[in-house]
A and B are shown apart, each in its own frame.
Chain A
Amino acid sequence: GQNIDQPTEMTATEGAIVQINCTYQTSGFNGLFWYQQHAGEAPTFLSYNVLDGLEEKGRFSSFLSRSKGYSYLLLKELQMKDSASYLCAVRDMNKAAGNKLTFGGGTRVLVKP
């Protein structure tokens, strides 16, 4: 099975940087996804990591260390519209499970002026 932990809530100031950590203990690992979810809306895909290291996409970056079972999502130059929940999800190693994901509880980020 999978166990995924991330903080429940974080607060940051507009223009600042926030780092959302995600730790996982899994029976198998085949990639980690980050999603953004605004209140009342669908989760939308942000980033994907399967190898160790940093993936950068504009203001958002995601890091993975497979040996430590650890990832983080870095949000730079925070904007008010970044206030949302951020979901960490790990893909199962079992090929028969296809693209089955297990999600953490989500981190709600509040950006203040």
Chain B
Amino acid sequence: DVKVTQSSRYLVKRTGEKVFLECVQDMDHENMFWYRQDPGLGLRLIYFSYDVKMKEKGDIPEGYSVSREKKERFSLILESASTNQTSMYLCASSIRTVSDQPQHFGDGTRLSIL
């Protein structure tokens, strides 16, 4: 079974702090993704990566950056946290080839910015 592990289930930080969200997958997947999920808005893609050290902006990258130094790990960074970044953050991974293989999700990190 694919396992996608996010480092924290709940996190509380203060406005202006630099925040790191970590995600690790154990299936040697090339693609990794970061989403945020807000009521009524669904899942929105922040950034994705299709290989080590590669990154692509998603639909809402502003205020975020990412790091992929190793294949299994994909980090989301909030450079200077703001209250509008309070949200549920979900990490996902998948194989690179376009196929019927889905993205597999972690359990999410509920982040509150005070």
**Chain A interface residues (CB < 8 Å from chain B):** 8, 30-31, 33, 35, 40-45, 48, 50, 87, 89, 91, 95, 97-106
Contacts and interface: CB of A to CB of B under 8 A. Distances in A.
Interface string B50-89: 1000001011000000000000000000000000000000
B103 A99 contact: yes
Contacts of B34: none
Chain B interface size band reads: 20 to 34
Contacts of A102: 45, 59
B12 interface: no
B45 A100 contact: yes
Contacts of A48: 100, 102
A33 B42 contact: no
A106 B69 CA distance: 33
Interface of B: 4, 30-31, 33, 35, 40-45, 48, 50, 56, 58-59, 90, 94-96, 98, 100-108
29 contacts: A30-B98, A31-B98, A31-B100, A33-B103, A35-B102, A40-B108, A41-B108, A42-B4, A42-B107, A43-B90, A44-B105, A45-B102, A45-B103, A45-B104, A48-B102, A97-B56, A98-B50, A99-B31, A99-B95, A99-B98, A99-B101, A99-B103, A100-B33, A100-B45, A100-B48, A100-B58, A101-B103, A104-B42, A106-B42
Contacts of A100: 33, 45, 48, 58
